[in-house]
Amino acid sequence: MVSSSSAVPAVVVVGELIQNVVQGGVFDTVTFNDVVSFVRKTWNLHYLKMEQSGNQLTISGSVPSYIQPGTYSEAIELNGEKYEIKLTVENTTIAATPVSTSILLSVEGRMLHVGGADWANVDVFDMQGRPVIGFKQVKGTVALDMLRQGNYIVRVRAGSNSLTRQISIK
């Protein structure tokens, strides 16, 4: 005989289980209420924090900039019921980044655009900080055709102004 007091309550979801986030962006927090049991089935979204406090489970965090664009899913089981979080990571390489020094840097495909200065020196480093290639007195754009696909650090210097950003070459 099963008593009604042992019935597991229905989980209440607050937030979106399907989200789009840019590389380096913040995942909108999702909260599950009335959680009696919690099992994380996968670790595809290992960078998201899943914290249980009492009968509440909170999922939060941000997407590291090194996570490649694409769709990822995380399976969890709450009160014996399966839930899936679907996250689409979007590329951030086509974006101008203004800074207080007024240097602008953007990447479109394999073209690096530099603005905010008459000319600039551009240095490209691998992710370990080793120099890959340098360009002197750049005016406008530089072709990055010689670089292999991957992530790089770019430093742009114009006079005493400097800007450093991570880029991704596809």
Per domain, the residue ranges of the chain are 11-90, 104-169
CA distance 20 to 99: 26
pLDDT digits (tens, 9 = 90+) for 145-169: 899 999 999 999 988 888 888 898 8
Query: Spelled out in words, what is the top-level CATH class assigned to the domain 104-169?
Result: mainly beta
List the end-to-end C-alpha distance of the chain, in Å, as a whole number.
62
State the pLDDT confidence band at 4, using cuts at 50, 70 and 90. Answer: very low
Contact 90, 22 (CB under 8 A): yes
Distances 69 to 2, 17, 34, 57, 110 between C-alpha atoms, Å: 48, 18, 33, 27, 17
Among residues 167, 70, 164, 153, the alpha carbon closest in space to that of 110 is found at 167
pLDDT digits 0-9 by tens, 118-140: 889 999 999 888 999 999 998 88
- CA atoms of 20 and 32, how far apart (whole Å): 20
Structure-block tokens of residue 105: 């840097």
- pLDDT tens per residue across span 10-46: 899 999 999 999 988 899 999 999 999 999 999 999 9
Whole-number Å distance between alpha carbons of 71 and 113: 29
Q: What is the number of alpha carbons within 13 Å of residue 128 lying toward its C-beta?
A: 2
Class of 11-90 in CATH = mainly beta
11-90 and 104-169 have identical folds: yes
pLDDT of residue 6: 59
The whole-angstrom separation of Cα 50 and Cα 123 is 39
**Mean pLDDT to the nearest integer, 87-95:** 75
